[in-house]
Every structure is written in C-alpha cells, then in structure tokens.
A and B are shown apart, each in its own frame.
Chain A
Amino acid sequence: MKKNIFYLLVGCVALALLLIFWYSVELHISLFIELAFIVGIILIVAARTRVTDWIDDERDIKITEQATVRTMQIFWIIFALFSIGAVMELLHVPEFPRLPPSMHPPVILPPRLMGYIQLGLLCLMIFLYVGFRIYYAKKYGDFETDEE
C-alpha cells in the first residue's frame, strides 16, 4: 500500500467515526462510538503496517520523540491543574448543620462539564503535539529545499 492511500484511509476512518459519533449521540449509546473508535484505531494500525514506502529513519524518530516529550511535559501540568480541581470537588465536606437545598454551595465541576473539559484537554494535547512536531521538523530541516 502506498502512503497516499493510507492517508486517504485515515481520512475515511475519521469521517466514519464522526458520523458514528453523531449517530451515537442521537441514540444516547456511548458504547457504540467507543467500540467504533477501537475498531478505527485497529484499522489504522493494521493499514500502517502494510504501507510499503514508509521509511522511519533516525531523524523521524528523533522528531517524534522530542515532540512527544515536550507535549507530555506541558500537558501533565495542565492535566494536573484540572485533576486537582476535580479532586477538590470530590473531597468537598458538607457543612453541619446541613444547609437547606437552596443554600448548598454551587457545584464547581458538574459531570457534563467534566466531559467537555476532557474533550478540551484531548484537543489541547493534539494541538500541542502537532505544534511541537512542526517545530522540531523545521528545526531538523524538514522544510529545507535544495537546488537539486
């Protein structure tokens, strides 16, 4: 399989996952998209092993390593910030005597908001990785041209 065919396949899988996600939301069945996501990843990994014109040389590996390390270095700090906030919410001790329902302190992180935050964190991680990958690719001469 050629590299371009592989990219086309990845695009098709992403599009299919988007449609399944929408369908899953309509049906309120989260398991549907979760299973589809796993199948999609397996498909992509299986296709990746069949690409014949893919060369991962030492420079590519170095770019990937450095981009991954930098992404994790920044991401774990942001992730820890949100996690600390969530744990604070979990460890909230009710006051005694109990206050009437109308006087309860507002919920800082409701479950639905947690879902959005997780999605935001995932997007942030992807953006960080892509950004660092472009940075290191440029640093190690990926966008260089010659007179050949």
Chain B
Amino acid sequence: MHNLTQEHLAQAIGVNRQTILAIEKEKYIPSLDLAFKISRYFGVNIEEVFIFDEKTSTIQSLPESH
C-alpha cells in the first residue's frame, strides 16, 4: 500500500530484511517494541498492522497489512 520494499522498511526500522520477511510469513513474532516501530513507520495504530491472539498471548501480523 506504500509501494515500499522490504529492504527499505528494514533499513528504516533497523532490522534485517529477513526479519521483515519472517514477520510477513508468520515465522517470527515481533516484540512489542518492533511492532510499534513498524506501525509508527506507516503512521497507523498498532491494531491496524497486528492483532493480539489471546489464546497464545502473542501478536500476529494482519494478512493485508503489507
């Protein structure tokens, strides 16, 4: 939605591109800190990018967020 590459996003928030890919593929659950950085980067609330799964007490990325 922002015509943004994983590489640019990764550089902007100080992580590796593979970490962005892993979050998208739901292989890695980001910390609250990183989740906030990503949502702040897009200028949206964290709930618009990630959802909190109460069963597992983890946050997951929304499928259409990127």
Q: How far is the CB of B29 from chain A (nearest CB, A)?
A: 9
Q: Is A57 at the interface (CB under 8 A from chain B)?
A: yes
B15 touches A58 (CB 8 A): yes
Given contacts A58-B30, A58-B31, contact A146 B24 (CB under 8 A): yes
Asked whether B15 lies within 8 Å of A141 as measured between CB atoms, the reply is: no
Interface size on A, residues (CB 8 A): 13
Contact partners of B25 in chain A: CB under 8 A: 141, 144, 146
Q: Give me the interface of A with B, judged by CB distance under 8 Å.
A: 55, 57-60, 62, 139-142, 144, 146, 148
Q: What are some 28 contacts across the A-B interface (CB < 8 A)?
A: A55-B14, A55-B16, A57-B14, A57-B15, A57-B16, A57-B34, A58-B15, A58-B31, A58-B33, A59-B16, A59-B28, A60-B16, A60-B19, A139-B27, A140-B22, A140-B27, A140-B28, A141-B18, A141-B22, A141-B25, A141-B27, A141-B28, A144-B21, A144-B22, A144-B27, A146-B21, A146-B25, A148-B5
A141 touching B34 by the CB < 8 A rule? no
Q: Does B39 contact A (CB under 8 A)?
A: no
* Alpha-carbon gap, A97 to B21, bound state (A): 73
Nearest B residue to A54, CB-CB = B16
The A interface, classified by DSSP as helix, strand, loop or mixed, is loop
- B15 vs chain A, min Cβ distance (A): 4
- Shortest CB distance B22–A (Å): 3
How far, in Å, is B14 (CB) from chain A's closest CB? 7
Q: How far is the CA of A142 from the CA of B19 in the complex (A)?
A: 8
A36 to B15, CA, bound (A): 35
Which residues between 19 and 60 of chain B lie within 8 Å of chain A, taking CB atoms? Answer: 19, 21-22, 24-25, 27-28, 30-31, 33-34
CB distance from A2 to the nearest CB of B (A): 15
Which residue in chain A gives the minimum CB-CB distance to B13?
A57
> Which residues of B are found within 8 Å of A58, using beta-carbon distances?
15, 19, 30-31, 33-34
Contact A55 B27 (CB under 8 A): no
